[in-house]
Amino acid sequence: MTEHIIPDASVASGWRKSSHSGNESGSCIEVLDDHPSGVPVRDSKVPHGPALVFPTAGWSSFVTAIKSSGFLA
């Protein structure tokens, strides 16, 4: 698998925070929908930091597995 990184994720707009993130300033991720290279994911606390870009099919499988595992009860 080729790893893709956006060095400064703030260059992209339209990030959305995980719906399971609370209002506290804890650990949160943000994703960027409809990106042509896959699904970029970044740490919401470091908006100018890097984002990892996952293949769309891989990200979809990950989300499905997490939802079906009971982690997001």
Phi, psi of 31 (to 5 degrees): -125, 160
Tell me which residue of 19, 22, 56, 57 sits closest to 30, measured CA to CA.
Answer: 19
pLDDT reported for residue 1: 44
pLDDT in tens, 9-52: 999 999 998 776 666 666 788 999 999 989 999 999 999 999 99
Query: What single-letter amino acid sits at 71?
Result: F
Q: Which residues pair with 5 in a beta bridge?
A: 52
- pTM higher than the cut 0.85: no
- Give the single-character DSSP code of 44: T
Phi, psi of 37 (to 5 degrees): -95, -5
pLDDT reported for residue 67: 85
